[in-house]
Chains A and B, each alone.
Chain A
Amino acid sequence: MTKLVQWLWGLAILGSTWAALTMGALGLELPSPYREVLWPLPAYLLVSAGCYALGTVGYRVATFHDCEDAARELQDQIQEARADLARRGLRF
């Protein structure tokens, strides 16, 4: 089973549970306060997931390490390498 199919199954099961409970199918009558919370729950979860994703990406981008030392070191070693290789007979 691919990940896509797993997710579709999961959404189908949760979705039908939510629909059954909010429509009062199967004769299940949830008390009013529960229904008031349950009804907007999918939309609420979607928006929260979106905010979490954006927040995480933003945070990670902002705290991404900038490796200036590594860049400098590489440039120095490139000079060293070219000199050493020329000495050993490499024609660039």
Chain B
Amino acid sequence: MASLELSRSPLRSRREPEVCSAGQDKYSVLLPTYNERENLPLIVWLLVKSFSESGINYEIVIIDDGSPDGTRDVAEQLEKIYGSDKILLRPREKKLGLGTAYIHGMQHATGNYIIIMDADLSHHPKFIPEFIRKQKEGNFDIVSGTRYKGNGGVYGWDLKRKIIRLYRKEVLQKLIEKCVSKGYVFQMEMIVRARQLNYTIGEVPISFVDRVYGESKLGGNEIVSFLKGLLTLFATT
């Protein structure tokens, strides 16, 4: 029988995708929470719905930082409802910051891809299958959601930097090692470092919905801290 020669398509990145032990892709969603008692059940329900409808292998890692409003209690109920193989509770005693929450979450994640998003319904999980499709399409190391391209957009004017991204697990681990900033600047820094390390980044248009639109959040504060963060990155990377 003649042997087939498979030529590498020029779009493929030089990295071969790692698969988890079952030989199949698994997607771990990291949800750091602080006082999200109201939103957590809703975001988990939407995540389960999106993943189940698309037949995607997933798990949700909830990293609660000792929320005083009973978020952990709600998380435990969700674990009972959906199973501890799908809902992983990995809480911490007190508020320890976003970067360490991701590190902590990743140590317990069994997927080979990590999805980072906010637990407050600002991004709808319905976009996640599109992220996954996009990642496979371009063999990207990172896929980020954008409100500015395609049919992306917003409802409500919350200027806070909300990020939803899909990473290969080893890429996220490497980036977290390299990043030094705190808070939302850290999310921006990850993209800067990713470009420096020549990781490939894809984008998917998403809509951002401010659920409690009506309360004025258009504060000059956010603009100032964004600019400060930008200038810090400019001077340090």
Whether B42 pairs with A4 at a CB distance below 8 angstroms is no
CB-contact partner of B207 in A67, A78, A82, under 8 A: A67
Interface size on A, residues (CB 8 A): 24
Which of B148, B153, B236 gathers most chain A CB within 10 Å?
B153
Q: List 18 contacting pairs A-B, 8 Å CB cutoff, sorted by A.
A: A2-B235, A4-B234, A64-B153, A65-B151, A65-B154, A67-B153, A68-B155, A70-B155, A70-B207, A71-B213, A78-B42, A81-B41, A82-B41, A82-B42, A88-B81, A90-B78, A90-B81, A91-B77
User: What is the interface of chain B, defined by CB distance below 8 A to chain A?
Assistant: 41-42, 45-46, 74, 77-78, 80-81, 121, 124, 147-148, 151-156, 207-209, 211, 213, 234-237
Interchain nearest-CB distance for A12 vs B (Å): 16
Among residues of B, the one whose C-beta sits closest to the C-beta of A89 is: B81
Interchain nearest-CB distance for A52 vs B (Å): 17
A65 to B155, CA, bound (A): 8
Q: Besides A82-B41, A89-B80, 17 other CB < 8 A contacts? A: A2-B234, A3-B235, A4-B234, A64-B148, A65-B153, A65-B207, A66-B154, A67-B207, A70-B124, A70-B155, A71-B209, A74-B124, A78-B121, A81-B46, A85-B81, A89-B77, A90-B81
Interchain nearest-CB distance for B185 vs A (Å): 15
Interchain nearest-CB distance for B7 vs A (Å): 38
A2 to B42, CA, bound (A): 43
Whether A74 pairs with B154 at a CB distance below 8 angstroms is no
Whether A65 pairs with B152 at a CB distance below 8 angstroms is yes
